[in-house]
Amino acid sequence: MKLLSLQRRMARAVMIPLTNSERMRTVAPDGRSMRAVASQIIKPNDRLTSFERLEIYNRQYWFRVLSGFAEDFPGLRAVLGGRRFDAMAKAYLTDCPSQSFTLRNLGSRLEGWLRKHSGWAGSRQHLAVDMARLEWADIDAFDGKMETPLKPEDLAGANPAKLRLRLQPYVSLLDLRYPVDDLLLEVRKDADNLDVASNAFNERRKTKRVSAVAKLKPSPLYLTVYRLDEDVYFRRLEREEFLILSALQAGKSLNAAIDVGLRKSPLAPEQRAAPVEKWFRTWSALGWFCRLEKNPPN
């Protein structure tokens, strides 16, 4: 058997989901006998059958990817509940196995997958998608690239009609329906306090909090997820802030972005300058803008 063929067979077997009792399936989803698959490629020894030897790798694979995934999405786990989250994680990782050399990227396709598979969250679908987006943005903010921050002198003589400000790659802008930022911080606080409170007590409290958030009427909430001094922060934004920043992120010029942001603003035209100036001052202080490209595209 050629190397590629053997590796395809073994990888396919290793990635088949485990049974509920965390053992290797005897029959693959496509009807193949896993005992036959194992014995075709793997030798038995005096203690283990071919099936049992293959099972060691099958179990190791799932334990590793499931624990990595759960570590990255504790908020989603709280929203779905442990049992449903675990089942969802197996389904997601079966449909979307890792395509990256790093486990960090396991959740990169989760938002899209969750939107297509709404059954996992049921009535909490929007809440679950919001949480998945926030947790993925958190991962991106943690180790995303930081380009040279923009300095005031970089803007000397710039024409606002042509000026295109760029946001740092680690900055994510999220339009959400639920206050998942508060919920995630509470989930993390509970995890940090595990030493001083019983696990069961924490679980009950978490369930109550999630239920309370799920009962809220969905209302627009704008959030940025960013990094400052190597820590990740969530900052809520006004709708106008969100629109301006999103337009800048999409490559619009400064003037055009402000136009987009304020087009439907309830602020009277004469009241707009002060908040816009304040927003830009804050965003600059937080280092969200990168130095301009020397030769920006026309």
| Interface contacts to another protein, rule CB under 8 A | 1-4, 6-8, 10-11, 14-15, 40-43, 45-48, 50, 52-54, 56-57, 60-61, 64-65, 68, 97-104, 142-146, 169-170, 227, 230-231
Nearer Cβ to another protein (3/156): 3
Tokens (6 digits) for 77: 């786990």
Q: Which strands make up the sheet holding 231-237, listed edge to edge?
A: 172-176, 221-228, 231-237
Length of the chain as a residue count: 298
Q: Which is nearer to another protein, 67 or 193 (CB)?
A: 67
Pairing of strands 289-290, 166-167: antiparallel
CB of 213 to another protein, least distance (A): 29
216 exposed, middle or buried (CB, 10 Å; 0-12, 13-18, 19+)? exposed
Query: Smallest distance, Å, CB 112 to another protein?
Result: 18
- Shortest CB 145 distance to another protein, Å: 3
Tell the smallest beta-carbon distance from residue 172 to another protein (Å): 14
Q: Which is nearer to another protein, 146 or 260 (CB)?
A: 146
Cα gap 58→60, rounded to integer Å: 6
- Least distance in angstroms from the C-beta of 261 to another protein: 28
Q: How far is the CB of 279 from another protein (least distance, A)?
A: 25
Q: Token digits for 35?
A: 């005992």
Q: How far is CA 101 from CA 28, 105, 137, 199, 262, in A?
A: 26, 8, 20, 34, 43
Q: Based on CB atoms, which residue is closest to another protein, 56 or 194? A: 56
Helices within 103-198 (DSSP H only): 110-116, 125-143, 180-192
Question: Beta strands 289-290 and 231-237: pairing type?
Answer: unpaired
**Cβ neighbours of residue 293 closer than 8 Å, sequence gap 6 or more:** 166
**Distance between the two ends of the chain, CA-based, in angstroms?**
56
Q: CB of 249: closest distance to another protein in angstroms?
A: 17
Q: What is the spatial distance between Cα 135 and Cα 75, in angstroms, rounded to a whole number?
A: 7
Which is closer to another protein, CB of 206 or CB of 227?
227
Please, which residue, 58 or 253, has the CB nearer to another protein? Answer: 58
Q: Which is nearer to another protein, 140 or 190 (CB)?
A: 140
Rg (CA), the chain: 24
